[in-house]
Each structure stands twice: as structure tokens, then as C-alpha cells.
Amino acid sequence: MNAIWKAAGAAAWGAVSFGGLLPVLDQERRQKIEDLCPNPGGVFVAAFSYFAGRSPGNLALYARGEDYHRVLLRRLEGVCASLKARYPDHCFLPGADNSPIPEQGAAVLAGLGEKGQHNLLLVPPYGSYLFLGTILTDLPLETSVGRIETACSHCGACGRACPTGALSEHGLEASRCLSHLSQKKGELSPWEAKAQQRSPLIWGCDLCQAACPCNRHARETELPEFRENLLHALSAEEIKDLTNRQWKERYGDRAFSWRGPSVLRRNIALLEERTQEDDD
């Protein structure tokens, strides 16, 4: 099994039985899982590293390579094919942000890593620069006996780095998170617009991860989809006259493309407005 996941490029993987998953499932999620896979036996969960260094740019690091949904599903489908060949009487359903499985909760239960104070999964030596994917199956699984390395010291660096107060000892307040605000459609409230205007990024946010000591020496990814053909920044000139169709043709393989060009245009305009104010 290790060879299958290594061939898929997983930084870490594990499994959790369906019974073991129940503590992180509400009734709605459980019902959706059982609708997808009657008599579920458990879930495989894997982490894929995307960190390719800290080059300057105005896009979050996770969004600079190929859309991770496409990458993970492609790689997970390869794993499913190998598992199907080994267990032909069972089903294997891949998921990456598109299934009712709580990926982070499953990853912790499967022993991949631990949840950091910044609300992200930490898997040494990759830090938190990770995408999670799952495979739901009716094959009876045993929960991995993994050794979770203690990584987060709850030093508070991530909370201090967050300019909007989204992180506190009580957890994450998603509505205040810059990553959330940068993706929000429509007109922003005055407070939201000011927060986005002060952000160095027009899509996403890396501030809490950059401040985390566990990411100081994060191992870089070996996956070509996240190392090659990177797009570090977008300018107003590049996207100002694009139709939605042209946008999809040019950027449809990027993780930020799903919101369309209007949100990015708004965020670029806010950043340019701040730059002008600073110059004045």
C-alpha cells in the first residue's frame, strides 16, 4: 500500500474506519456518505505538499500552480485504479474538497498530523503547506496506528500575524479571515474593503502560515504541478478586458479561476488604491 501512495506523490497517508470517523460526522454528513457508498468501510486520507518556496507575488502560494482539485483528483483516481485491481469487488470514490468527508478531521484520526493553532493541519516536515484528499470505500478498513509528531507549540505567532483578528484562543472566525474576504463576491463592507486593501495579496492569504515556526524549514514539494509553470501574480492590465469565456480559457486550470474575473479586478483595484494613497 505504501508503494501505491508513494507513486501518487502523497507526502503522508493513512486510513480511518467508518466507525472511527463517526466522532467528526454530523447526521447530515453521515447520510451523504452512506448515500454515496452504502455500507462504508472507511476512508483513506492523504496529504499532498504544494510548497515551492516563498517567491514574491500577489497570489497565495497554494494558488500559483495547477488547480489542486484537478491535481488531487487525477492522482487519487490513479490510486483508486490500483486499489480496484487489488480489490475488484469493492468501490473506491476519490474526493478533494467535493465530498461530505471532513478531510482535516479524518487526517488527524488517521494519524497524519495535528491541527495547528492556525486551524491548518501540520505534517512534519512539510508544515501546513498541504492539500488533503480522500478515498471513500466499502472495503473494511482499520484505523492507522500513526504516530502524530507534536508540532504546534501554541506560541501564538499565527494569531499575532493575522491583521484582522480572525485567529484567537477560541479558534478561527472565518468571516474575518483575509483568505475568505479575498474570495467573497459582490461589494465588500467598508471594514472588509479596508482589510482587503491592506493585504499584500489579491487572492488568499499566507500570513499565518508564514509566521508559523513549523513552516520555517518546510520541505518543498516534488510534485511538478505545484513546482512548474507557476503564476506568481496578476495585474489589472492582464485581466481588465477578459470575458468570462476568455478568463476560463486562460486561467481555467488555476485554483482562483472559479470565482471569475470580477472579484480579482475588485481586489486589484483596492490594492492599487492603497498604493496610490501611500505614494501621496
- Give residue-wise pLDDT tens across range 43-91: 999 999 999 999 999 999 999 999 999 999 999 999 999 999 999 999 9
Show me where the domains of the chain are located.
2-137, 157-213+231-279
DSSP state of 1: -
* Residue 224 scores a pLDDT above 80: yes
**pLDDT confidence of residue 9:** 98
**pLDDT confidence of residue 277:** 64
Crossing angle between the packed helical segments 261-279 and 190-198, to the nearest 10 degrees: 70
Of 97, 206, 241, 278, which residue is the catalytic one?
A: 97
Q: List all residues 6 or more positions away from 6 whose beta carbon is below 8 Å from its beta carbon.
A: none
Please count the CA atoms within 13 angstroms of the CA of 55 that sit on its side-chain side.
16
The per-residue pLDDT for range 169-205, each reduced to its tens digit, is 888 999 999 999 999 998 999 999 999 999 999 999 9
- Closest alpha carbon to 76 in 16, 131, 141: 131
* Residue 279 scores a pLDDT above 80: no
* Residue 280 scores a pLDDT above 90: no
Count of helix runs (H) and strand runs (E) in the chain: 12, 8
CA angle 217-145-33, nearest 5°?
A: 95
* Rounded Cα distance, 33 and 68, in Å: 22
Cell numbers found for residue 95: 474526493
Given a contact cutoff of 8 angstroms between Cβ atoms, the answer to whether 60 and 205 are in contact is yes
CA angle 93-99-104, nearest 5°?
A: 105
Cell numbers found for residue 271: 490594492
* Residue 113 scores a pLDDT above 60: yes
- Give percent above pLDDT 90 in the chain: 89
Given a contact cutoff of 8 angstroms between Cβ atoms, the answer to whether 94 and 23 are in contact is no
* Rounded Cα distance, 120 and 143, in Å: 21
Give 147's pLDDT tier (boundaries 50, 70, 90): low
**pLDDT confidence of residue 75:** 98
- Closest alpha carbon to 145 in 17, 279, 26, 5: 17
**pLDDT confidence of residue 274:** 76
Total residue count of the chain as it appears in this document: 280
**pLDDT confidence of residue 148:** 65
97 a catalytic residue: yes
How buried is residue 78: exposed, middle or buried, by Cβ count under 10 Å (0-12/13-18/19+)?
middle
Instruction: Note if the pTM is more than 0.85.
Output: yes
**pLDDT confidence of residue 43:** 98
Cell numbers found for residue 76: 487519487
